[in-house]
Structure 1
Amino acid sequence: MNNIFTDEKLRPEIRAGLAKINFTKPTKVQAEVIPLLLDGKNAIVQAVTGSGKTHAYLVPVLNAIAVDHKYTQAVITAPSRELAEQLYLVARQLRDASGLNISIAHLAGGTDRERQIQKLTANKPQLVIATPGRLHDFVQKKLLLVDQAQVLIVDEADMTLDMGFLADIDYVAQKMPKDVLFAVFSATIPVKLTNFLRKYMKRPEQVTIDNPAVIAPGIKNDLLDVGSKSRKGILYQLLTMGQPYLALIFANTKQRVDELTAYLQSQGLKVAKIHGGITERERKRTLREVAQGQFQYVVATDLAARGLDIDGVSLVINYEIPRDLEFVIHRIGRTGRNGLTGHAVTLIREEEMNRIAGLEHMGIHFDFVQIKNGELVPRNHYHRRSERSSTNHKIDPKLNGYVKKEKKKRKPGYKRKIKQAIQKDKAQKRKIEQRHEVRKAKRMRKKRRDEK
């Protein structure tokens, strides 16, 4: 098969630039997507984190830009400031290695808006890499004209949807020519995203590289039940057992990240934290120090860490399961990248096993483990055993002892007692659910009153 990096459809400068930065063999996503975009075909690309999708669109985008035409010819969007900056740096690296005189602008929230306006006025960018909010702002105020753009790339499209930025993308796309080349890259393709894409794409090329719901084969993916033990204590034990090269610990909220960082620091570990509550300057400094090897442990939230290119992550720990189960895929995908091996551990309690069942239904395989003599060793997966029992009467774990006891005695009426216990448990759960619904409705009514 022809190596796309040496294909004559690419400019000689770009072929030389790729060789200069040691891109000699394309990844699967690059081999499939680059030819499509070079031929001007719209594409929806579903690929796991770390598959090489960034260069899958950067190579054809830079290849398509006419150096002599001083107007915006291509736009790439990324949902977070960190990811936009990362893309900007990667694009500059390939441009400089290729020796191409292409003007690239980086537009993102959280940075000096007036300075960005001055740069745009002084030098019209041919390629714009931007966050959706800032892009919408500049296009709406006609600070940036996109009416002649030939390419629109939306990276991390599912995250763009999650963060509520699709309306911004929609506004900008409407200002572009009808025949604009439109390509979307995402780890998952939710239904809402599919509906949006139908508006701009007719019969797009569908490219799926691996199943995004399946963890890369080089990652050992463990499940650890903390039981009645301290979850923080188990976390500290995991971090200090094997001395990982770089461990990334995920928590669901900024408050929990702060709490875990303070705890681990109190145990003598040098820990960095990344979440949306820290300043842009502090975030950049932290990432620089992590890249320099000054930290062995990083605690982060999902949205802050997603899109960040942190090399050398050998261990990922899901301190808690996220509300959106798909985030587990992105978390675990931070390790085992670029063909390297990795290790992920998810901490759970027995009452959370229904969420694990949801993850397994998505195609994620877990190895059930326990800590024994300072090591992680296999243990029986009680969730597997429960699946073999009847699904008609799912019994709360707290009733198991009662059921076993009654079965063993075999006294008259024991089946009736078991049935009554199950019905009573279900009734109690219904009451709790109803109570939650009533409280939720009250909160919503109060919120609406406050908004008026």
Structure 2
Amino acid sequence: MNNIFTDSRIKPAIQEGLKKIHFEKPTKVQEKVIPAMLSDLSVVVQAATGSGKTHAYLVPIFNEIDEDAHYVQAIVTLPSRELADQLYQVARQLRDAAGMHFSIAHLAGGTDRERQLEKYQNNTPQLVIATPGRLLDFVQKKVFIVDQVKTFVIDEADMTLDMGFLADIDQVASKMPKDVQIAAFSATIPVKLSNFLRKYMAHPDQIVIDNPSVIAPTIKNDLLDIGSKNRKSILYKLLTMGQPYLALVFANTKQTVDELTRYLQDQGLKVAKIHGGVTERERKRTLRQVEQGQFQYVVASDLAARGLDIDGVSLVINYEIPRDIEFVIHRIGRTGRNGLSGHAITLIREEEMNRIEDLEKMGVHFDFVELKNGELVPRKHYRSRENRQGKNRKLDTKLVGYVKKEKRKRKPGYKKKIKRAIQEDNRQKRKLEQRHEIRKAKRLRKRKREQGR
């Protein structure tokens, strides 16, 4: 099979640059996306984070850039400043390795806007890497013109939708040429995103790499029903059972992230935290320290699940299930990357099982485990108990006689009488079960109220 990195359509300098940064064998997404984009096709690519999609679009972009033409030729948007910063570093690495000489602008919220304005008003970049809000700001101020853009890439498109940035993207895209090549990369393609993309792409090349909703085979994906046990103490036990190279704990809110960080620090663990409330300077410092191996444990909100690329995560713990269950997939996808093995554990209580069923319908497979003697051991699937209930339901003692007598010959109508009696008995039992469920739900609500005080 031909290696797309050595395709004759790719400039020799880029081929050499890829070799220098040790890109020798393309990933599946690179094999499919690079030829499509080299053929000037617009693409919608559904691929999981960590599949190699960044270079899948950088290679065709670099290939089309005219180093002597000083106008904006390509734009890549990402929904968070961390992602934009990471892409900027990756793009510079490939540009320098290829010995190319063109200007790359990095525009993101949280960076010095005035300095950027001053820099690019007199020095138009040829490639722009930006967050949607800052990009729109610069386009509206006419810091640079986008009417000659050849390629427009929307990376992490579903996260862009989740964070409410599609309106900004829409305004920028409307100012581009009608024949601009558009490439959208996303782990999932929700209906709203699909409708938006259709506005600018009549017949895009649809590329799906595996099923991003299915957890990578390199990940052991466990589900732990904690019952009435204390969630924090279970978390501490899981983090200290083995020695994870780097453990990432996800919580739903900034408050919970702060609370868990304090709790784990009080237990003597060295813990870093990342969420939207942490200042830009602190976030950068924390990420640098994590990369340097100064922290073994990181507690984060969902922004970090999609907005950061932290290498070496060997364990992911979902402390709680997020409101948007698709985020479970993105969280778990932080581990088991690039062919390395990973371990994910999701903590749940019985009342959350319906959400697990929804995830299973999406193709997420869980191994059911329990904590015994300081280790995780397999347990039966939660549905096996439900399946047995129907089979093992005992008849009321007063009905046993009816059923035994049915074996003998009886007058017409006797069988119907038995069936009616059994049906009534089952109805009464269902009523009792429903009452039990209602009482259990009341107890759970009471427990939540008490925990909230």
| TM-score higher than 0.5 | yes
Corresponding residue for 1:18? Answer: 18
Tell me how far 1:123 sits from its aligned partner: 1.6
Counterparts of 2:269 and 2:440 in 1: how far apart (Å)?
42
Q: How is 1:349-368 mapped onto 2 (pairs within 5 angstroms)?
A: 349-368=349-368
Tell me how far 1:62 sits from its aligned partner: 1.1
Call closer, same or farther: CA 1:383–1:409 in 2, change over 3 Å.
Answer: farther
Deviation readout 1:94-136 (Å, 9 max, x if unpaired): 0011110010000011111101101112321000000011111
The two structures, once aligned, show a CA RMSD in angstroms of 2.2
Call closer, same or farther: CA 1:425–1:369 in 2, change over 3 Å.
Answer: closer
Tell me how far 1:417 sits from its aligned partner: 2.7
Call closer, same or farther: CA 1:409–1:307 in 2, change over 3 Å.
Answer: farther
Q: How is 1:216-295 mapped onto 2 (pairs within 5 angstroms)?
A: 216-295=216-295
Tell me how far 1:383 sits from its aligned partner: 2.7
Counterparts of 2:156 and 2:242 in 1: how far apart (Å)?
33
Tell me how far 1:304 sits from its aligned partner: 3.0
Call closer, same or farther: CA 1:367–1:95 in 2, change over 3 Å.
Answer: same
Residue pair 1:353, 1:383 contacting (<8 A) in 2 also: no
Call closer, same or farther: CA 1:259–1:40 in 2, change over 3 Å.
Answer: same
Q: How is 1:30-429 mapped onto 2 (pairs within 5 angstroms)?
A: 30-386=30-386, 407=396, 414-421=425-432
- Could you tell which deviates more after superposition, 376-385 or 6-15? 376-385
Counterparts of 2:397 and 2:333 in 1: how far apart (Å)?
47
Counterparts of 1:253 and 1:290 in 2: how far apart (Å)?
21
Residue pair 1:274, 1:305 contacting (<8 A) in 2 also: no
Call closer, same or farther: CA 1:131–1:409 in 2, change over 3 Å.
Answer: farther
Tell me how far 1:276 sits from its aligned partner: 0.3
Give the match's secondary structure for 2:200.
coil
Give the match's secondary structure for 1:370.
strand
Corresponding residue for 1:434? Answer: none
Counterparts of 1:206 and 1:231 in 2: how far apart (Å)?
43
Counterparts of 1:429 and 1:367 in 2: how far apart (Å)?
26
Tell me how far 1:407 sits from its aligned partner: 4.6
Call closer, same or farther: CA 1:254–1:407 in 2, change over 3 Å.
Answer: farther
Counterparts of 2:396 and 2:285 in 1: how far apart (Å)?
63
Matched letter for residue 26 of structure 1: P
Call closer, same or farther: CA 1:358–1:23 in 2, change over 3 Å.
Answer: same
Counterparts of 1:309 and 1:53 in 2: how far apart (Å)?
13
Residue pair 2:305, 2:330 contacting (<8 A) in 1 also: no
Counterparts of 1:110 and 1:249 in 2: how far apart (Å)?
25
Normalized against structure 2, the TM-score is what? 0.89
Residue pair 2:121, 2:144 contacting (<8 A) in 1 also: no
Count of aligned pairs: 421
Give the match's secondary structure for 2:220.
strand
Counterparts of 2:236 and 2:8 in 1: how far apart (Å)?
54
Residue pair 2:305, 2:334 contacting (<8 A) in 1 also: no
Matched letter for residue 201 of structure 1: M
Call closer, same or farther: CA 1:327–1:5 in 2, change over 3 Å.
Answer: same
Corresponding residue for 2:416? Answer: none
Deviation readout 1:180-208 (Å, 9 max, x if unpaired): 00000000000111111111111110100
Call closer, same or farther: CA 1:423–1:296 in 2, change over 3 Å.
Answer: closer
Counterparts of 1:120 and 1:408 in 2: how far apart (Å)?
86
Counterparts of 1:220 and 1:339 in 2: how far apart (Å)?
13
Matched letter for residue 172 of structure 2: V
Counterparts of 1:129 and 1:173 in 2: how far apart (Å)?
15
Call closer, same or farther: CA 1:387–1:7 in 2, change over 3 Å.
Answer: farther
Counterparts of 2:344 and 2:279 in 1: how far apart (Å)?
29
Deviation readout 1:144-171 (Å, 9 max, x if unpaired): 2111111100000000011111111110
Tell me how far 1:21 sits from its aligned partner: 0.3
Give the match's secondary structure for 2:309.
coil
Residue pair 2:43, 2:206 contacting (<8 A) in 1 also: yes
Tell me how far 1:320 sits from its aligned partner: 0.3
Tell me how far 1:240 sits from its aligned partner: 0.4
Matched letter for residue 89 of structure 2: L
- Could you tell which deviates more after superposition, 115-124 or 267-276? 115-124
Give the match's secondary structure for 2:307.
coil
Residue pair 1:105, 1:129 contacting (<8 A) in 2 also: yes
Call closer, same or farther: CA 1:414–1:240 in 2, change over 3 Å.
Answer: same
Tell me how far 1:429 sits from its aligned partner: 11
Tell me how far 1:75 sits from its aligned partner: 0.3
Counterparts of 2:160 and 2:21 in 1: how far apart (Å)?
30
Call closer, same or farther: CA 1:409–1:361 in 2, change over 3 Å.
Answer: farther
Structure 1 unaligned blocks of 5 or more:
391-402, 432-452
Matched letter for residue 378 of structure 1: P
Percent identity, aligned pairs only, is 72
Residue pair 2:18, 2:94 contacting (<8 A) in 1 also: yes
Call closer, same or farther: CA 1:304–1:423 in 2, change over 3 Å.
Answer: closer
